[in-house]
Amino acid sequence: MSDPKIFLHKDFTHVYKPIMQFNKNRTEFVHQWYPFVEGYSKEFITNIIEEIDYEPQFALDPFAGSGTTPVELQEMGINCYSFEVSPFMHLLATVKLERGYNLHDFINYHITVGQFLNGVLQPIRKFLSPPIEQSFQPRKGKSKWVFDVGVMNGILDIKYAISLVPDEKYRKLFSIALASILLDVSNVYRNGKCLSYKEDWNKRKIKRREVHKKFLDKLSNLIQPDIEKLETIESTVENLQYCIHGDVRNSISQIPNGSIDLVITSPPYLNSRDYTDIYLAELWILDLVKNYEELKQLRHNTFISHVQVKHGEINALEIPELKRVLNELNGKKVEMWNDDLPIMIKGYFKDMDNLFDQLKLKMHPDKKVFFNVANSAYYGVEIKVDEIVSAIAETHGFTINEIREARQLKPSSQQKETIKSLRESVIVMTSP
């Protein structure tokens, strides 16, 4: 086996550490509409635009997530194609990119919704049924559930009230406001890779009217001030809302070849985290998945980074660092909690290979890519994702300028005895 390629590493923690967390967006214009956990802050985008020595015409984010990249570039007057496979994240990004809101209409629809929710409580389950997801409601033989009966009734009230709004863009906006309160009124919280039950969850009693109030307060206190501000902003870009709902691996062909002159993105990390699990409440409550077959298909359509889907055997790329990782993990098979971990790792980098094969066609020559990834570890074997991705990009003609260390992340509890921290990086490269 040949030696792994040596790349130039630079310590950028002084620049990136303060701006690589979405938490900074929690009180920011438009971004505050939904408390997204993963992703970088708006400052990461502005930092890049200030750094590059040209004015991009069309940028690309293949993994839009909550839409931070396209939203911020839109504010700067830069067109941005983006892709998102999750129907919830696509909805969130689309709602944040919308610039056709009107304060007068928003207030009128807010009043319509509020009148219904503040009126006489209705037998709501005669009009709407809860999602079929079995963990959401108390059931015979179940000792835990995500939503109490009164809370679910409050959620259904809100869904029905939203359906009374005639304008689709406001229905979508109000749906994001509903999504933003779901975990607050539930019995669970996001805990890394899954939803976990809150301490003393069965002693917490949230009333139906409290659910309504949280929703209406969200509209009044967070969203309405931003709608008011949006009316004062005159956009300078024509085709702003080009967030494509779909798997970038199959959908990127829609972008004209040679049209992209900047890529800023953060793909799913190789941490076996299934985002369909983490955002189950939003997907089911907003009717973005209606049955288990649709949920299964969504998992199949995501970038390979978890073991929830069987992919069959996948051939490993001929990348020395990847071969090293797979050889080391091969000796740990007896310990593995899931035999598909090596397949997941091979599939992840195979998907990366396909992505860069497309990017070289879509990009204008000599333009920049900022690629945010994080290293991972399984059974004491560190996977240098940034170096493997860099090696893959090189095989497609990209020049790796440097790998910037953004910050150090804590490994999982299973790894921390042998691996103290994992590098999160921004790979800076130039298109062929």
Q: What is the pLDDT of residues 270-287, one digit of tens each?
A: 887 777 888 999 999 999
**DSSP-derived 3-state class of residue 356:** helix
Measured CA to CA, the distance from residue 117 to residue 215 in angstroms comes to 10
Instruction: Give the whole-angstrom CA distance, residue 286 versus residue 289.
Output: 8
> Tell me, what's the pLDDT at 117?
98
The Cα–Cα gap between 308 and 288 comes to 19
Nearest CA to 44 out of 63, 22, 61, 29 is that of: 22
8 A C-beta contact, residue 273 and residue 37: no
Instruction: State residue 252's pLDDT score.
Output: 92
CA-nearest of 243, 264, 266, 283 to 97 is 243
* Spatial separation of the C-alpha atoms in residues 373 and 360, rounded to whole Å: 19
What SS3 class is residue 366? strand
Strands, E assignment, 50-198: 58-61, 79-84, 188-191, 194-197
Q: What is the pLDDT of residue 261?
A: 96
pLDDT at 237: 47
Residues near 225 by beta carbon (within 8 Å), at least 6 away in sequence: none
The reported pLDDT for the residue numbered 230 is 86
Point out which residues pair with 243 in neighbouring strands: 82
Q: Residue count of the chain, please give it.
A: 432
pLDDT tens for the chain, 432 residues long, are 566 678 999 999 999 988 877 566 667 888 899 987 667 788 999 999 999 999 999 999 999 998 999 999 988 889 999 999 999 999 999 999 998 899 999 999 999 999 999 999 999 999 999 999 999 999 888 899 999 999 999 999 999 999 999 999 999 999 999 999 999 999 999 887 788 999 989 888 899 999 999 999 999 999 999 999 988 876 554 545 578 898 898 899 999 999 999 999 999 898 877 778 889 999 999 999 999 999 988 988 888 777 677 777 889 999 999 999 999 988 776 566 667 788 889 999 999 999 999 999 999 999 999 999 999 998 889 999 999 999 999 999 999 999 999 999 887 766 767 788 899 999 999 999
What is the rounded distance in angstroms from the CA atom of residue 364 to the CA atom of residue 361? 8
Question: pTM higher than 0.75 for the full model?
Answer: yes
If you ran DSSP here, which 8-state letter would residue 77 be given? Answer: T
Q: How far apart are the first and last CA of the chain?
A: 27
